[in-house]
Structure 1
Amino acid sequence: MPNYLSPGVYVEEVSSGVKPIEGVGTAVGAFIGIAEKGVIGKAVLVTNWSQYVSEFGGFIPNAYLAYAVYNFFAEGGTSCYVVRAASEDAKKSLYIVKDSQGENLFEISARSEGNWGNRISFQISSSTNGQMNGFKLNIKYTEKSSFSDEYVGEDVEGELVETFDNLLIVNFEEKINDLSSFISVRPLVDLKKVDNMDKVPMFTEEDEFIELANGVDGISYVEYIDSEEKKLGINAFTPIDEINIIAAPDVSNMVSNRNIILEILNYCKTRKDCFYVIDPPHGLTPQQVKDFKEGAGEFTGNSFNSSYGALYYPWVFINDPLTGKKKLIPPSGSVVGTYAYVDSARGVHKAPAGTTDGYLDTVVGVEKIVTKGEQELLNPIGVNVIRSLPEGICIWGARTLSSDSEWRYINIRRLMMYIEESVDKASQWVVFEPNEPTLWGKVKRNISAFLTRVWRDGALYGSTQEEAFFVKVDEENNPPASRDAGQLVIEVGVAPVKPAEFVIIKVSQKTLSK
């Protein structure tokens, strides 16, 4: 309390005690897989397809990450984080540049691992301004053919993409490494020694460009699961709070896919704020995908039983942006984009399925036409079928992989994740506050106001607030023993709206009386 020692008027600001709870975002995707280039094991924010191409390259054969991200944006997604996964044998393309005396001077390498760097070439000449010991570095990049790994037929010389002029060996590292999107350099001599400060790299012949070499993609055994210390695979997402929906499209056809899927499901369960959209291997029959889910038949192993994931079947055809022809890809990219769109348009409480909200704009066909009878085999065990219907190709299922009926539906699990995370983040101010009835009242008002908004948005069942939710924080659930232990117990109960999965219309004949 301030001291009032002199007569006068004192104006003070007093907190109202109302700290509105803002709902967290739910539409941010998270993709991990095989990319043409880009930093390995780091989550990078991508907000459009052009940015993805700049960071990770374009479409590559027998890899689906790029297609998944492309379809995510095409289906209505607005932002996602991408992690490039690779094996330990991934290497950067490089070349050792010598000085005018033929001694090693510096190493020039591709910005990231992969054989994409083998298409980078460089030229070294004297600086434009004629500065003593100065030099100029030109960088060319040869685009890959849309249909193969070979260079583009006519433009084998590549395109000049970067120029660094008026360089000195004492400062060229910072000038290049801080700006270049294609290369990085590393001195091979001690630049603190006076004798090395005036060295100049050997100039290339006029119009000659030297190619970098020995880049390796590192896809022999892609690292998806690693220790939390490494954070090179799925754990690279750990520092990112914003992500909500995870997909790993390249996992589907890997030999160890079951183990990886189980690990990612466990990762989502541990975080409690992520949901995993799973792709099965391609070419499965309905019976085989049932076995895949349950760990039976040829897919011996633990069953997928988690409310933090959903399995979608079958694979889908899209119009390949490269060739214009149909291409078969895992469905997760389109599904995650649909999740994000429905979250923005309707809310996280709306099941991302149906002829309207489950319609897949990017899909032109399905790998297998699943009949109603076949879906009756898959839907009860939590396999969400993508159906070809008269209205179009639609997601025709909204179930998690959980065997617990309480967590049967995707929208219920994701709504609870949304509520829990929103309340958690907005209640951090309560920690270390005096644990007494005044605080209890503030907490109850804040949470009740938030849940009222959720109820009015149609996410909670009930014609009144009392039917939709309750918030209890009083002497009964906070007795002296709990307060002495430093605990504040807040009980919150909500009644989520469940989807109308089965619409039963009963029709009978009515006899007209005379």
Structure 2
Amino acid sequence: MPEYLSPAVYVEEVSSGSKPIESVGTSTGAFVGLAERGPIDKAELITSWTQYQEIFGGIIADGLLPWAVFHFFNEGGTKCWVVRTCTHTENVPDARKADPITLYDSDGNPSMLVEPKTPGTWAKKYRVYISNGTNNLPNDPQKLKFKLSVQKEITRNNVPIWVDVEVFDNLEMDSVEDRVNKESIYIKIEVDGWNDGTVVGSGKRPKNSGPDSVAVFANGDDGNSRVLQVSDLIGDESSRTGLHAFDVVDDINIVAIPDGEGRIEIMSAGMTYCENRGDCFFIADSMEEQTPTQILETKLLNYSSSFGALYYPWISVNDQLDPRGGTRLIPPSGSIAGIISRTDVARGVHKAPAGISEGRVRGARDLEKVLSKGEHDLLNNPGINVIRQFPGAGIVVWGARTVAVDAEWKYINVRRLFLMVEESIYKGTQWVVFEPNDPTLWAKVKRNITAFLTNVWRDGALFGSTPDEAFFVKVDAENNPPSVRDAGRLIIEVGIAPVKPAEFVIIRIQQKVLEA
């Protein structure tokens, strides 16, 4: 309490007691797989395809991760977390960096050590080129300032050439390490202490590169010489490899693993991971070249979960590696994750990510298999979401079910709505811990949760013409008797009536008989 020691006007800020609950995000993707470059088993936040290319490189032929991320953004995704993985030996990544390069000064002494920032063979297409800095004084015979260029070999008109991808100008030996290591995407350097027994750090800059003295990286290992196993993709919890690299990331909602051979095992492990976390949803891919009967057997014999959905078939997209403009097949999970993200932003998490409008697959050019209605009838009830092609509508997602056997959780939007509500209430009631457990607290909690759910109802996510029909919040002496309070517990009961999708639209028409 403030002290009032002399006559005056005292202004005090008084809490209203209201602590609004905000809806958590629902549209953030999370991907694991093979990439051209980038850190191994470390989650990176990506907000655009351009940013992905800066960190992880571009489209590659032997990995599906970049294809998935590209189509995630192409379909309307706004942000995602990406983990590059590789094969592992006893939880240690097999990927290795290319050999470091030693740059020498004009006296032939080592001046600088340069190494790639991340593992892989990608570095063999890169070199480091040294030249004079732009701001050297005309009367400076030593030309102490220098320019370091990172160059990449590309082919133009069937001729290999080197182009600058990074340029650091007007460098000086006392600051080059800090500047390059902070700003470079491709390399990191050391100018002192790396080569015992050699005179290093004398302040002499590396000599200019000549036609026969340009430093090119060599060797390296991508860690994909053998087939990527499910254990590589899911990873190890204690080492935080693979999917478990997301253990330290709170903001993930839609998870996909486009790479890997064991689709059944990936589906099972991915959905189990999401279920254990309790805050995200897994998008599973069918295997390539599966028939409807085979995918049906895969689903019926293997897994049931409300924390994931299975999509079939693969989609055909523009092949960015084909100069002739061809197409290639990819699993649909990246596109589906983008469609879910797009639908969340445009309509809300309660809208099923399917249909003529929201379900359109923008990046698809064709389907691996065009299904008939009879084949679709066979797959829909078991919870296999089919991608269909309709005249005038194009290629669309035509299913919105989880792989759960429990009918209560058979729709994707219902499960994801509950995830959003549960996490929002969880985060919005953290202030309650250690508060006096009495009717005053109960009233505050009920008021805050009721206000939050009223907004959810107004957004169209809950069924009912009034809030009382759409949800209830119970926190009183009945569910918090003395025995519960003595145990230090506060019980809050919440019930909501989610809106279900109109999956089957039935129109009954009959002839009207004119009266005589």
User: Scaled by the length of structure 1, what TM-score is found?
Assistant: 0.90
Q: Which consecutive residues of structure 2, in runs of 5 or more, have no partner in the other structure?
A: 88-92
Question: Could you tell me how far 1:472 is from its partner in structure 2?
Answer: 0.2
Counterpart in 2 of 1:212? 217
Question: Could you tell me how far 1:240 is from its partner in structure 2?
Answer: 1.9
Tell me, yes or no, if the aligned pair for 1:191 and 1:197 is still in contact at 8 Å: no
Where 1:422 maps in the other structure, the secondary structure is: helix
Whole-angstrom CA distance in 2 between matches of 1:189 and 1:2? 59
Cα distance, 1:10–1:231 mapped onto 2, change above 3 Å? same
Counterpart in 2 of 1:414? 416
Moved more, 58-67 or 184-193: 184-193
Cα distance, 1:48–1:205 mapped onto 2, change above 3 Å? closer
Cα distance, 1:134–1:94 mapped onto 2, change above 3 Å? farther
Cα distance, 1:131–1:176 mapped onto 2, change above 3 Å? farther
1:197-346 → structure 2 map (5 Å cutoff): 197-198=201-202, 200=204, 203=207, 206-208=210-212, 209-219=214-224, 220-222=226-228, 223-251=232-260, 254=261, 256-295=262-301, 303-323=302-322, 324-346=325-347
Question: Could you tell me how far 1:68 is from its partner in structure 2?
Answer: 1.4
Where 1:354 maps in the other structure, the secondary structure is: coil
Counterpart in 2 of 1:49? 49
Tell me, yes or no, if the aligned pair for 2:192 and 2:200 is still in contact at 8 Å: no
Counterpart in 1 of 2:182? 178
Tell me, yes or no, if the aligned pair for 1:316 and 1:330 is still in contact at 8 Å: yes
What letter corresponds to residue 30 of structure 1 in structure 2? A
Where 2:250 maps in the other structure, the secondary structure is: coil
Moved more, 313-322 or 423-432: 313-322
Where 2:395 maps in the other structure, the secondary structure is: strand
Counterpart in 1 of 2:472? 470
Matched, 1:70 2:70: yes
Tell me, yes or no, if the aligned pair for 1:382 and 1:401 is still in contact at 8 Å: yes
Where 1:156 maps in the other structure, the secondary structure is: strand
Where 1:306 maps in the other structure, the secondary structure is: coil
Where 2:329 maps in the other structure, the secondary structure is: strand
Tell me, yes or no, if the aligned pair for 1:96 and 1:104 is still in contact at 8 Å: no
Matched, 1:17 2:27: no
Tell me, yes or no, if the aligned pair for 2:132 and 2:208 is still in contact at 8 Å: no
Question: Could you tell me how far 1:186 is from its partner in structure 2?
Answer: 3.5
Cα distance, 1:66–1:95 mapped onto 2, change above 3 Å? same
What letter corresponds to residue 285 of structure 2 in structure 1? D
Matched, 1:380 2:381: yes
Whole-angstrom CA distance in 2 between matches of 1:199 and 1:427? 58
What letter corresponds to residue 215 of structure 1 in structure 2? G
Matched, 1:494 2:496: yes
Aligned counterpart for 1:196 among listed residues 197, 200, 214 = 200
What letter corresponds to residue 413 of structure 1 in structure 2? R
Q: Which consecutive residues of structure 1, in runs of 5 or more, have no partner in the other structure?
A: 145-150, 296-302
Counterpart in 1 of 2:151? 141
Counterpart in 2 of 1:353? 354
Whole-angstrom CA distance in 1 between matches of 2:193 and 2:132? 21
Question: Could you tell me how far 1:221 is from its partner in structure 2?
Answer: 4.5
Moved more, 211-220 or 303-312: 211-220
Question: Could you tell me how far 1:372 is from its partner in structure 2?
Answer: 1.2
**For each residue in 1:302-332, what CA deviation from the matched residue of structure 2 results, as whole angstroms up to 9, or x when unmatched?**
x121111000000011223444322211111
Question: Could you tell me how far 1:177 is from its partner in structure 2?
Answer: 1.2
Counterpart in 1 of 2:482? 480
Work out the percentage of aligned pairs sharing the same amino acid: 48
**For each residue in 1:326-378, what CA deviation from the matched residue of structure 2 results, as whole angstroms up to 9, or x when unmatched?**
22111111111110111111110010111111111221211101111111221
Moved more, 12-21 or 127-136: 127-136
Question: Could you tell me how far 1:102 is from its partner in structure 2?
Answer: 6.2
Moved more, 156-165 or 479-488: 156-165
Question: Could you tell me how far 1:153 is from its partner in structure 2?
Answer: 5.3
CA RMSD after TM alignment: 2.6
Where 1:499 maps in the other structure, the secondary structure is: coil
What letter corresponds to residue 218 of structure 1 in structure 2? G
Question: Could you tell me how far 1:23 is from its partner in structure 2?
Answer: 0.6
What letter corresponds to residue 27 of structure 2 in structure 1? A
What letter corresponds to residue 436 of structure 1 in structure 2? D
Tell me, yes or no, if the aligned pair for 2:109 and 2:200 is still in contact at 8 Å: no
Where 1:310 maps in the other structure, the secondary structure is: strand
Counterpart in 2 of 1:36? 36
Tell me, yes or no, if the aligned pair for 1:96 and 1:105 is still in contact at 8 Å: no
Matched, 1:84 2:84: yes
Tell me, yes or no, if the aligned pair for 1:33 and 1:83 is still in contact at 8 Å: yes
Aligned counterpart for 1:95 among listed residues 75, 95, 100 = 100
Cα distance, 1:190–1:79 mapped onto 2, change above 3 Å? closer
**For each residue in 1:123-147, what CA deviation from the matched residue of structure 2 results, as whole angstroms up to 9, or x when unmatched?**
3456645586957353343255xxx
Whole-angstrom CA distance in 1 between matches of 2:52 and 2:457? 37
Whole-angstrom CA distance in 2 between matches of 1:494 and 1:36? 46
Where 1:413 maps in the other structure, the secondary structure is: helix
Counterpart in 2 of 1:426? 428
1:433-472 → structure 2 map (5 Å cutoff): 433-472=435-474
Counterpart in 1 of 2:372? 371
Counterpart in 1 of 2:90? none
What letter corresponds to residue 246 of structure 1 in structure 2? V
Where 2:264 maps in the other structure, the secondary structure is: helix
Cα distance, 1:322–1:99 mapped onto 2, change above 3 Å? closer
Cα distance, 1:187–1:225 mapped onto 2, change above 3 Å? farther
Whole-angstrom CA distance in 1 between matches of 2:100 and 2:449? 60
Cα distance, 1:69–1:2 mapped onto 2, change above 3 Å? same
Moved more, 457-466 or 160-169: 160-169
Tell me, yes or no, if the aligned pair for 2:316 and 2:365 is still in contact at 8 Å: yes
What letter corresponds to residue 13 of structure 1 in structure 2? E
**For each residue in 1:489-513, what CA deviation from the matched residue of structure 2 results, as whole angstroms up to 9, or x when unmatched?**
1000001011111122222333333
Moved more, 82-91 or 340-349: 82-91
Whole-angstrom CA distance in 2 between matches of 1:257 and 1:466? 44
**For each residue in 1:128-180, what CA deviation from the matched residue of structure 2 results, as whole angstroms up to 9, or x when unmatched?**
45586957353343255xxxxxx555552311233445656565432321222
**For each residue in 1:236-261, what CA deviation from the matched residue of structure 2 results, as whole angstroms up to 9, or x when unmatched?**
1222222110111113xx1x333333
Q: Report how many aligned residue pairs link the two structures.
A: 498
Aligned counterpart for 1:393 among listed residues 392, 395, 407 = 395
Tell me, yes or no, if the aligned pair for 1:34 and 1:63 is still in contact at 8 Å: yes
Question: Could you tell me how far 1:98 is from its partner in structure 2?
Answer: 5.7
Cα distance, 1:491–1:312 mapped onto 2, change above 3 Å? same
What letter corresponds to residue 437 of structure 1 in structure 2? P
Whole-angstrom CA distance in 1 between matches of 2:114 and 2:403? 49
Moved more, 498-507 or 189-198: 189-198
